[in-house]
Amino acid sequence: MSDRHVDQVADRVHTIVADIFDSLDRILGSVVACYRASGSFACADLAGVRPEIFACLSRAHDVVAGAGVIVAPGVLADRRRWLEWWQAPPEQDPIFLDVDLDPESLDFYDYTHAEWFAVPEHTRRRHIVGPYVDYGGTDTYMLTFTAPAEVNGRFLGVVGADVRAATFEALLLGVLAASPTTITLVNGEDRVVATNSPRLPAGSLLPQPAPHRLPLTGSPWSIVTTTGDRAISSL
C-alpha cells in the first residue's frame, strides 16, 4: 500500500496524536510533582496541576475540548472520587466540569468502569478511546486520550484530553478530500474515526474485515482503503 494519500493521512494522524500526548506528558509531570510535594494528597493539591491543564487547553485550543486529571478512588485523602477536569469553550476561559459522583444518582458518572480509565489502569499504557457517546460527562461524541499516572508503581489515576469526534475529522478533512480513493481511519474495534466515504459515516462499524489495512504506530488505529473511486462527483 504505497498510496501517497494514505501516507499523508497516516502522517497527519500521527502528528495530531503525538501533539496531544506531548501535552498530556506535561500534565502528568505536574501531577507527579504535586503528589510528591504533598504529605497527604488532597483535593486542594490538584490546584497545582491547573496551570499545566490550562496551558494544554490554550496551546491546543482548536483541538482539545477538555483536559485534566481523573483520580483513582481512594488516592485523595478527602474525596473518594474526583475529576479535575476543565473544558475549553471557544473564546472563553476554561470551565470546571461538574459531574455527578453520587453512586445513587441516575446520572452517576461511573468513571472507574469507563474504558479511558480502566484500560490505562490495567495496562499502564497510553490509550485512545472512541469515538463514543460521553453521556453524564460532556454529552458529546468524543475521542478521549489518556495516560496512566503512577508513582513508584502506585496508580494515581489518569491524565487525559478530550477531542470532539467532529474536530478530529475536520483536522483530517484536507488530506482525506484530496484522495480519489476511499480512505477510512478506524479504531481498534473497526469503528470509523474519519473517512472520505459517504457510505460509512464516523461512528459506524466496518461491515466486514478490511483486506487492505495499514496499522498506525503509536495508536490502536489503522487505515483501511478500498479500491475504486469514492463516487463523489464535484458540485
Q: Which of 2, 40, 90, 139 binds another protein (CB under 8 A)?
A: 139
Q: Is 140 in the site for another protein (CB under 8 A)?
A: yes
Interface with another protein: number of residues (CB under 8 A): 17
Task: Measure Cα distances from 225 to 95, 162, 198, 209 in Å.
Answer: 40, 27, 14, 11
Q: Is residue 210 a contact residue for another protein (CB under 8 A)? A: no
| 191 belongs to the binding site for another protein (CB under 8 A) | yes
In whole angstroms, how close is the CB of 135 to another protein at the nearest point?
Answer: 5
Nearer to another protein, 131 or 148 (CB): 131
What phi, psi does 7 have (nearest 5°)? -60, -40
Judged by CB under 8 A, which stretch of 11-19, 44-52, 92-100, 134-142 contacts another protein?
Answer: 134-142
Beta bridge partners of 214: 223
If one asks whether residue 133 binds another protein (CB under 8 A), the answer comes out as yes
Least distance to another protein, CB of residue 59, Å:
27
CB of 88 to another protein, least distance (A): 19
Q: What are phi and psi of 9, to 5 degrees?
A: -65, -45
Residue labelled with grid coordinates 483535593: 43
Residue in the structure block whose three cell numbers are 481498534 = 188
What distance in Å separates the CA atoms of residue 220 and residue 101, rounded to the nearest whole number? 30
Cβ closer to another protein: 21 or 132? 132
Distance CA 127, CA 118 (A): 10
Tell me how far apart the alpha carbons of residues 69 and 53 are, in angstroms, rounded to a whole number.
Answer: 9
Contact with another protein (CB under 8 A) among 90, 189, 227, 228:
189
Interface pick for another protein out of 7, 25, 100, 115 (rule CB under 8 A): 115
Pairwise CA distance, residues 3 & 6, whole Å: 5
Q: Which residues bind another protein (CB under 8 A)?
A: 104, 106-107, 113, 115, 131-133, 135, 139-141, 189, 191, 203-205
